[in-house]
């Protein structure tokens, strides 16, 4: 280690001989690996890495008692105050760590240890074929009305780059053309039949992104059940993003057993975005087809996205749309330009509209004729 935090302390009078002497003695009694001092006429310079504050105060008290230095000649109180004013630090034993305290610890021989542990061991023995195919032109840039499970059966294997969808949540919402209050087993059976086809048509190296909110009142952890389904089918769990909706009103609508441990009901202000990869973590693509900036990349890989829910649902007469911004980030973070994006529960077409805007090819499927008509009309009308 060779990095220090630099502190500059201005004093309202020149350092006198006694002050310089006590500063030199403080420097001699302190570890150069932790703290060091220099000075000018009206300034003290501190190089600080870590410090046992109790021990440091003890040294200062000892020096003040030894030298009986007057207030006007004593620079020590200003030094200790300046250091204690630093509120951001880590702790290691008795020491405050002021440099790199929030840096990830390095693991020696990391690659070997990852191999030993068996990274995504649950997906290692898959039978996925690494040869990808093109999507037939009659399905490119189309919105098709029908049952996704049946329509997807008409597509070849390994022809879709990115699946992004928010399936019906089974909350009892008023969707057009489908029930949203099935028995949970029936719901998951139907959902997974569609997802089986999504896995088949997904390219080797392609990604599947599912936005879902569990129904906590039924104690059904949909995001866990869906994740287990994909992992059981040998997809790699690539990660989870929390979509913070900042919907704080929900905190005050229900508490279960009010002020009692009998059965408190937990409330959430976020939804889950689960991400999976087929066969490999790395998706091949051309460098010229990358359209995400460095700042966007750094911001969006932090797996908590704060954005308001879709505010335009009444205009589309749809009860549960995700916002365009969510799809915008997901597409740019996980796909290349000209990739093919599929939404098997396309609704009124948020995914397909954003894909078109971002120069991706698209295929949207939904059971509702009304939603499909709106999705087609929406293609040139994205909100960016």
DSSP string, 82-120: HHHT----EEETTEEE-SSTTSPPP-TTHHHHHHHHTTT
Instruction: Examine residue 106 and state whether it is found in any structural domain, yes or no.
Output: no
Q: According to DSSP H, which parts of 34-183 are helical?
A: 53-67, 76-84, 110-117, 148-152
What CATH number did the domain enclosing 374 receive? Answer: 3.40.50.150
Q: Of 142, 140, 175, 177, which Cα lies nearest the Cα of 159?
A: 140
**Residues 217 and 267 grouped into a single domain:** yes
Instruction: Examine residue 352 and state whether it is found in any structural domain, yes or no.
Output: yes
Instruction: Examine residue 111 and state whether it is found in any structural domain, yes or no.
Output: no
Instruction: Examine residue 120 and state whether it is found in any structural domain, yes or no.
Output: no
**Residues 65 and 133 grouped into a single domain:** no
Beta bridge partners, 202, equal 160
**Residues 182 and 70 grouped into a single domain:** no
**Residues 54 and 160 grouped into a single domain:** no
How, if at all, do strands 270-277 and 202-212 pair? antiparallel
**How does pLDDT run along the chain (384 residues), one tens digit per residue?**
458 999 998 887 788 888 888 888 998 999 989 999 898 878 889 999 999 999 999 998 888 888 887 777 788 888 888 999 998 888 888 999 998 877 766 777 878 888 888 899 999 999 999 999 999 999 999 999 999 999 999 999 999 999 999 998 776 555 555 655 678 899 999 999 999 999 999 999 999 999 998 877 788 899 999 999 999 999 999 999 999 988 755 555 556 777 888 888 787 889 999 999 999 999 999 999 999 999 999 999 999 999 887 677 666 656 567 889 999 999 999 999 999 999 999 988 899 999 999 999 999 999 999 889 989 988 875 544
**Residues 138 and 90 grouped into a single domain:** no
φ, ψ at 103 (rounded to 5°): -80, 140
Last residue of a domain, one of 97, 117, 149: 97
Beta bridge partners, 51, equal 96
**Please, what's the largest Cα pairwise distance for the chain?**
91
Q: Of 87, 85, 88, 82, which Cα lies nearest the Cα of 101?
A: 88
**Residues 86 and 133 grouped into a single domain:** no
Instruction: Examine residue 10 and state whether it is found in any structural domain, yes or no.
Output: yes
Q: Sheet containing 5-10: give its strands across.
A: 5-10, 43-48, 35-39
For position 1, what pLDDT does the model report?
Answer: 46
Instruction: Examine residue 233 and state whether it is found in any structural domain, yes or no.
Output: yes
**Residues 87 and 131 grouped into a single domain:** no
**Residues 68 and 216 grouped into a single domain:** no
Last residue of a domain, one of 52, 81, 97: 97
**Residues 225 and 302 grouped into a single domain:** yes
Domain count, the chain: 2
Supply the range of the domain harboring residue 83. 5-97
**Residues 91 and 53 grouped into a single domain:** yes
Instruction: Examine residue 270 and state whether it is found in any structural domain, yes or no.
Output: yes
**Residues 314 and 186 grouped into a single domain:** yes
**Residues 90 and 139 grouped into a single domain:** no
**Tokens linked to 359:** 């120069």
Instruction: Examine residue 296 and state whether it is found in any structural domain, yes or no.
Output: yes
| CA dist., res. 70 & res. 326, Å (int) | 63
């Amino acid at each position: 280690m060779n990095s220090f935090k630099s502190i500059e302390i201005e004093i309202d009078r020149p350092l006198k001989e006694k002050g310089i002497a006590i500063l030199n003695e403080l420097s001699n009694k302190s570890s150069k690996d932790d703290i060091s001092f220099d000075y000018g006429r009206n300034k003290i310079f501190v190089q600080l890495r870590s410090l046992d504050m109790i021990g440091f105060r003890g040294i200062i008290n000892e020096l003040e008692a030894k030298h009986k230095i007057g207030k006007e000649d004593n620079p020590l109180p200003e030094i200790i105050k300046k250091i204690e004013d630093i509120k951001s630090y880590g702790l290691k034993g008795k020491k405050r760590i002021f440099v790199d305290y929030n840096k990830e610890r390095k693991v020696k021989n990391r690659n070997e240890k990852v191999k030993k542990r068996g990274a995504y061991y649950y997906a290692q023995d898959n039978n996925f074929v690494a040869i990808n195919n093109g999507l037939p032109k009659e399905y490119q840039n189309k919105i098709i009305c029908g049952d996704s499970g049946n329509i997807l059966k008409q597509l070849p294997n390994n022809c879709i780059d990115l699946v992004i969808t928010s399936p019906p949540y089974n909350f009892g919402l008023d969707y057009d053309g489908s029930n949203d209050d099935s028995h949970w087993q029936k719901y998951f059976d139907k959902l997974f039949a569609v997802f089986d086809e999504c896995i088949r048509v997904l390219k080797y190296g392609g990604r599947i992104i599912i936005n879902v909110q569990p129904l906590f009142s039924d104690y059904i952890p949909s995001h866990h059940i869906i994740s287990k389904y994909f992992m059981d089918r040998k997809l790699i769990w690539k990660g989870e993003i929390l979509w913070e909706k900042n919907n704080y009103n929900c905190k005050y609508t229900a508490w279960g057993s009010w002020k009692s441990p009998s059965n408190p009901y937990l409330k959430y202000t976020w939804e889950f975005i689960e991400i999976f990869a087929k066969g490999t973590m790395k998706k091949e693509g051309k460098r010229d087809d990358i359209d995400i900036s460095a700042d966007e990349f750094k911001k969006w890989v932090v797996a908590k996205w704060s954005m308001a829910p879709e505010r335009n649902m009444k205009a589309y007469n749809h009860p549960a749309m995700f916002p365009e911004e969510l799809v915008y980030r997901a597409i740019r973070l996980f796909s290349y330009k000209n990739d093919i994006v599929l939404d098997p529960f396309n609704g009124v077409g948020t995914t397909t509209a954003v894909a078109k805007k971002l120069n991706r090819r698209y295929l949207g499927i939904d059971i509702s004729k009304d939603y499909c008509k709106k999705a087609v009309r929406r293609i040139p009308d994205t909100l960016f």
